Chain A
Amino acid sequence: GDSVTQMEGPVTLSEEAFLTINCTYTATGYPSLFWYVQYPGEGLQLLLKATKADDKGSNKGFEATYRKETTSFHLEKGSVQVSDSAVYFCALSGLSNDYKLSFGAGTTVTVRA
């Protein structure tokens, strides 16, 4: 079945550091790929998405490129801020008619001032 594997962390960084969270997926066909972010005490928010190979999703300085050849969708940000401290989830959907999301385990990121 469909699955997502992501770097579990936790990851601790200093402000202005470079962030990468690895995400790979297993699926037949061409799923849509997402990164969701969960801030402390809140629900999930869509951070960015890509719906086909080589698409780059970007938002709030975060980027991820849909790599079909490596079945990956790694999240990157060049200069993190304290406000980026959150749990980040990689997810996929769209391989069946129900569009349910299959999530990775989540990566906790803490940015220190």
Chain B
Amino acid sequence: DSGVTQTPKHLITATGQRVTLRCSPRSGDLSVYWYQQSLDQGLQFLIQYYNGEERAKGNILERFSAQQFPDLHSELNLSSLELGDSALYFCASSVTDNNEQFFGPGTRLTVL
């Protein structure tokens, strides 16, 4: 158990809908990262937050957004969902901007 929790574990929804994925980092970790794992794109970095502020953006679509709250949990919002958004979404956390990241179990999103 990495200490990073993600909810829900599974999510099934329809095209055009909006969903929110939640991540609670390890106690004391200030940095949160979101990654998408899909069959065709592999594991890709989406976005990073550090102590509430956006730190870096990767291959994140404009339909996706994220935030990190004062209690350091983070949410990833996916809107106008398309079939191709079906994937496993991982959250990772680290103490600061060092590079040892601990991953959560992931949220599997299925868009029908």
A residues near B, CB below 8 A?
Answer: 32, 36, 42-46, 49, 89, 93-94, 96-106
Select one of A43, A102, A106 contacting B2, CB under 8 A. Answer: A43
How many whole Å from B98's CB to the nearest CB in chain A? 7
- Asked if B99 and A103 sit within 8 Å, CB to CB, the answer is no
Select one of A36, A43, A89, A100 contacting B48, CB under 8 A. Answer: A100
B58 surroundings in chain A (CB, below 8 A) = 100
Count contacts between A and B, CB distance < 8 Å. Answer: 57
Q: Residues of B within 8 Å of A, CB-based: how many?
A: 26
- Decide yes or no whether B42 CB sits under 8 A from chain A: yes
- Asked if B105 and A43 sit within 8 Å, CB to CB, the answer is yes
The answer for the CA separation of A49 and B94 in the assembled complex, in Å, is 15
- Asked if B42 and A106 sit within 8 Å, CB to CB, the answer is yes
Q: A-side binding surface: helix, strand, loop or mixed?
A: loop
- Asked if A99 and B98 sit within 8 Å, CB to CB, the answer is yes
Select one of B31, B43, B45 contacting A89, CB under 8 A. Answer: B43
B100 surroundings in chain A (CB, below 8 A) = 46, 49
Q: List 9 A-B contacts (CB under 8 A).
A: A32-B99, A43-B106, A94-B99, A96-B56, A97-B56, A97-B97, A98-B48, A98-B55, A101-B101
How many whole Å from A11's CB to the nearest CB in chain B? 17
A103 surroundings in chain B (CB, below 8 A) = 42-44
How many whole Å from A90's CB to the nearest CB in chain B? 11
Select one of B31, B97, B103, B106 contacting A45, CB under 8 A. Answer: B103
The answer for the CA separation of A98 and B105 in the assembled complex, in Å, is 22
